[in-house]
Amino acid sequence: MNELFRSQLFLLTFTVGIYLAALWLYRRTGVKVLHPLLTSVAMVIIFLKATGMPYAEYRAGTQFIDFMLGLAVVSLGYLLYEQLDDIRRRWVSILTSVVVGSTIGIVSVTLISRWLGVEKAVEISLKPKSVTMPIALSVSGAAGGIPAITSIAVIFTGIFGSMAGPFVLRKLGVTDRIARGLALGSGAHAIGTARAIELGAVEGAISGLAIGLMGLVTAILIPILQMIL
């Protein structure tokens, strides 16, 4: 039985099945805390604890999912290409929004962390919370942060942003499709982009662009703001 659990076929089937079940539960109940990503992570952790399987082995067995996710992100390039004219006309406002958003995010985390008296390493770990995981871990590690805390912060920021983002934008009367996609991608990275795709192709494409811009800008600003603050 243990060999079955460790087979690649089982791990892939288990992971996809858990996510689909979590997605069905979320849509059926509408309970926000049952976000499919959060529920799936919890179930995977329980599975790993119950079987005693190291995470490295689980990740190796589900590497195909990572490969397919990469292809899914690349496919956003076609949708982005269709928006090139709008992007060229509005590149100043797009870049300004990302820079301002990144700055506010970093400064607010820094000030709140110091107000609460958290350790310096924890503060650094939280700063890249709004960028995609690979960039966040790289920036956090280079600055002396704790990768585990950064990972948790990134996941929860993405989940919260994907759930609250559309509601906040709707309440604020933001109807521009580019603005909506930019907000979700900048504030909630890949998870926000998945939500943006549900809103529309334009929102999804711009959100994908925002992920890259936000990661680049944040990687540049964190060392600068760290010296200033």
> Which tokens hold the place of 179?
């603005």
Contacts of 188 (CB under 8 A, 6+ apart): 130, 157, 158, 159, 160, 161, 162, 165, 195
User: Is the same domain home to 153 and 221?
Assistant: yes
Mark 37-71 as b/e (b = at least 16 C-beta within 10 Å). Answer: bbbbbebbeebeeeeebeeeebeebbeeeeeeeee
Could you tell me the pLDDT band of residue 126, with boundaries at 50, 70 and 90? very high
Structure tokens at 55: 């995470």
- Is residue 107 domain-shared with residue 155, that is, in the same domain? yes
In this predicted model, what pLDDT tens digit does every residue of 145-158 receive, in sequence order? 898 899 889 988 98
Residues 120 and 163 in one domain: yes
Give pLDDT tens digits for 22-67: 989 988 888 877 888 888 888 999 999 988 888 888 888 888 887 7
Rounded mean pLDDT of 180-186? 90
Q: What is the mean pLDDT of residues 154-172?
A: 89
What is the average per-residue pLDDT within 187-215? 86
Structural contact between residues 168 and 176, judged by C-beta atoms closer than 8 angstroms: no
Contact 170, 188 (CB under 8 A): no
Six-digit token string for 114: 């110091």
pLDDT at 2: 66
pTM (2 d.p.): 0.79
| 108 and 9 in a common domain | no
Residue 139 sits in the same domain as residue 201:
yes
Q: What is the mean pLDDT of the chain?
A: 87
Question: Which domain range does residue 149 map to?
Answer: 79-228
